Amino acid sequence: MLKEFKEFVLRGNVVDLAIGVAIGAAFTAVVDSFTANLITPLLAIPGDAASFSDLSFTVSGSEFRYGALIDSIISFAIVAAVLFFFVVKPVNALVSRRAAARDVEDETRDCPECLSSIPVGARRCAFCTADVGSR
């Protein structure tokens, strides 16, 4: 089951992408709510505004809501941090482990006598001491 899960995670197709987009949208909604309802009021405590989203200024009758922009920037930073630490870092570690395992396989060969895995440059098998020559 774990092998199937790894194949699912590392396989790229349209269904996987659709699931990722749906989960990302739901996660973004949670982060937006977290930012608007918890983080922003905490950051606004020293000032007189209850929330950044209420902050705005008007020029020639046009309202510029810079507080909503600040909320969006905070939400983006949280989403980016979570994706980096919980998706990108683990997948990069998994991919590098798989690449390292492939490199080790390229550096070994099988002993013709006992079929043990030995280094490519070995002249004698460490397991059965058979003379294997060098390649």
Does residue 117 fall inside a structural domain?
A: no
Does residue 131 fall inside a structural domain?
A: no
Look at the chain and report how many structural domains it folds into.
Answer: 1
Does residue 123 fall inside a structural domain?
A: no
Q: What is the band of 80 on the pLDDT scale with cuts at 50, 70, 90?
A: confident
Q: Residue 73's closest CA among 108, 32, 113, 33?
A: 32
Q: What is the band of 47 on the pLDDT scale with cuts at 50, 70, 90?
A: low
Is residue 117 helix, strand or coil? Answer: strand
Angstrom distance (rounded) from CA 37 to CA 53: 11
Parent domain of 35: 2-108
What mean pLDDT do residues 69-96 have?
85
Angstrom distance (rounded) from CA 117 to CA 106: 11
* Burial (Cβ within 10 Å: 0-12, 13-18, ≥19) of residue 34: middle
What mean pLDDT do residues 49-70 have?
82
Q: What is the band of 102 on the pLDDT scale with cuts at 50, 70, 90?
A: low
Does residue 114 fall inside a structural domain?
A: no
Angstrom distance (rounded) from CA 75 to CA 132: 62
Q: In residues, how long is the chain?
A: 135
Does residue 125 fall inside a structural domain?
A: no
pLDDT for 7 equals: 72
Does residue 71 fall inside a structural domain?
A: yes
Does residue 132 fall inside a structural domain?
A: no
Does residue 120 fall inside a structural domain?
A: no
